[in-house]
A and B are shown apart, each in its own frame.
Chain A
Amino acid sequence: MKYSGITLKKPKVGFFDFTGCEGCQLQITNKEENLKALFGLVEVVNFREISSERRDDYEIAFIDGCITTDSEVARLKKIREQAGILVAMGACACLGGVNNLRSRFPLPDVVKEVYDGHHVDTGPVRKVAEIVPVDIELPGCPISKHEFEWLVRHLVLGIEPQFPKYPVCVECKQRLNSCVLDMGMMCLGPVTRAGCNAVCPRNRLGCWGCRGPSEEANFESLMEILREKGFTEEHIAERVKFFNAFSGILNSDC
């Protein structure tokens, strides 16, 4: 593989699933017309969705899912030791994600409700960065294939990826969407990192913040706007807490 006369090295990559639906890994395998080109750029040494090969000489590790068990903590630390670059991939790995919903309830109650009293080795929901240092966060629920391919190109060229710092509104306006807040729907687009091409508002669904906060997002202003529009504290809290993307910005009482 050459780029402008320079021979590119194929980095060895591994994909590892933790607590989550593994949908982010599925996203990567979904875009069949690009698979050959994509896997021509890297050497996959560990990716259970596409290969039975299991090697541990990867240079880049992609982590999918949040961390909930002691065994996962140990496994993650081992991966971190091996990987030169560790990428947290998707809302669960980057934020805790949907799984974090259970953190609202006492853990024994959750286990009882779901597993009917069977012993389950599970602990609090944590994002990857709470356990080990993360080099790159690839956001989204699920991740976007387009953005994944863009990231891989950066990794192969050794260029630091620059994710959009601005919120979803920019892309939403560029697609000439109607503002769903004007239509009476709740939307976190004004404080959520862009890069998704406003796919939810495009389909008349307010943003749920799966990509995490935009940089220096003005939460206070959006909260004031949502309250003025008549959304209840419960409604706001439900939305804001959904992906665990905005923890620490709300009053503890909502």
Chain B
Amino acid sequence: MLFKTITKENFKKMVEGLLEENEVIGPRSRDQDLEGNKIYRFLKVNSFEELEMDYTRSYSSPKNYFLPFKEDFATYRLEDNNWEQEIRYTVHPRVIIGMRACDINALLKLDQVMLKSVYPNPYYFARRQNTLIIGLDHEPLEDCFCRSMNTDTAFHGFDLFLTDIGDKYFVAINSDTAYIIINQFDAREVTEEDQERFKTVKEQIKSKFKTQVDITILPELMDLEFESEVWKKWGDKCLSCGSCAMVCPTCYCYGIEEDTNLTFTKATKRRFLYSCNLLDFAAVAGGHNFRPEAHIRLKYRYYHQFRGFVEAFNQSLCVGCNRCGKACLAGISPKAVIDDLIKTEKNEY
């Protein structure tokens, strides 16, 4: 990793340069909530002015630019007794600006599953390879618990990572491509003053974490509390609407569907992201549903996030962004559920 600085003016020029040849995605606001707060999400950006670098929370994670909600695996041309399959991995070069450290860590976790497993996912690989990631530091929001999940900083998984130090950005450079790009826009060596400002900003960020979730014994705790009333308490509120998994930066469970066109001359095999909270997630051929109850499904989502993934990869799947907690109308959040589990274990529940 190399470090440089770039003035905000030159950063603007850089983004405008990137816009010429790439699809650029970044935080943009659309709508406001009842308190008048802007609602942000990662959307296509057509000009630098549309980018909102001072965004707070994106309602949905940028996961869908790597794992689309719906994705064609293959298309088929059907002839009389024959068929021809076409598979495309081609992805237009893309830049995502403004990803948080937690979202970059989320990608690193998805990499474990999608790239480093026995069956790598070429569709994901194509998107990952063709996406330039420009990360952006931020002061934690009141419910961010990424620090507890050890995902509040990112050391790899991005091309550039920006920290706002006033009139310029302190930039971590993590790829050759990014190095070549940023040097075309008058990136400067880091001065002693820059270093001091960077340290001050980092200290400020560190001091502003308010929410903590104790995950030290969580995998064991989950086994001990398998029958806990806590699951029922939150499960009864659960709408089984899948919002949590849709906005989550790491939930990757999916289904496969096949369809044809109206003349039965073309067919498509499609992958769609699903959620383990949805009623028929564990329904199998023959009609049996292994998890017909909402609280059991909710429990297994937490099991995957905080126990199953730990067993497989020695880290939680959750990155502590609390998007699920914010999207859940019923107020189910990892902090609330895990705190309850810990209380049960201490007989305080």
Task: Give residues in A with beta carbon < 8 Å to B.
Answer: 1-5, 8, 34, 37-38, 40-41, 149-150, 152-153, 165-167, 169-170, 173-174, 176, 178-179, 181-184, 189-191, 204, 214-218, 221-222, 224-225
Residue B90 is within 8 A (CB to CB) of chain A in the complex? no
A173 to B239 CA separation, bound complex (whole angstroms): 14
Per a CB cutoff under 8 Å, which of B31, B80, B240, B327 touches A166?
B240
Task: Give residues in B with beta carbon < 8 Å to A.
Answer: 30-34, 39, 41, 43, 59-60, 64, 69-70, 78, 80-81, 83, 236-243, 246-247, 259-264, 273, 275, 278-280, 292, 294, 327, 329-330
Given contacts A3-B264, A5-B81, A165-B278, contact A179 B239 (CB under 8 A): no
Residues in chain A near residue B236, CB distance under 8 A: 221
Per a CB cutoff under 8 Å, which of A34, A153, A190 touches B239?
A190
A69 to B143 CA separation, bound complex (whole angstroms): 58
Residue of A nearest to B33 (CB): A182
Interface contact A37-B78, CB-CB below 8 Å: no
A184 to B239 CA separation, bound complex (whole angstroms): 19
Interface contact A173-B238, CB-CB below 8 Å: no
Residues in chain A near residue B263, CB distance under 8 A: 1, 37, 40
Per a CB cutoff under 8 Å, which of A34, A176, A217 touches B60?
A176
Residue of B nearest to A178 (CB): B31
Interface contact A173-B39, CB-CB below 8 Å: no
Given contacts A2-B264, A5-B80, A38-B262, contact A167 B60 (CB under 8 A): no
Most chain A CB inside 10 Å of its own CB: which residue of B240, B242, B261, B273: B240
Interface contact B262-A153, CB-CB below 8 Å: yes
A40 to B264 CA separation, bound complex (whole angstroms): 11
Interface contact B259-A150, CB-CB below 8 Å: yes
Given contacts A153-B260, A182-B39, contact A190 B241 (CB under 8 A): yes
Residues in chain B near residue A176, CB distance under 8 A: 41, 43, 59-60, 64
- A50: min CB distance to chain B, Å: 17
Interface contact B262-A184, CB-CB below 8 Å: no
Interface contact A221-B33, CB-CB below 8 Å: no
Residues in chain A near residue B69, CB distance under 8 A: 174
Extra A-B contacts (11), CB below 8 Å, given A215-B279, A224-B237:
A3-B78, A34-B262, A38-B262, A165-B278, A165-B280, A166-B241, A169-B239, A174-B64, A179-B243, A190-B241, A191-B239
Interface contact A169-B34, CB-CB below 8 Å: no
- B99: min CB distance to chain A, Å: 16
A234 to B132 CA separation, bound complex (whole angstroms): 52
A37 to B266 CA separation, bound complex (whole angstroms): 13
Given contacts A183-B32, A183-B34, A216-B279, contact A167 B241 (CB under 8 A): yes
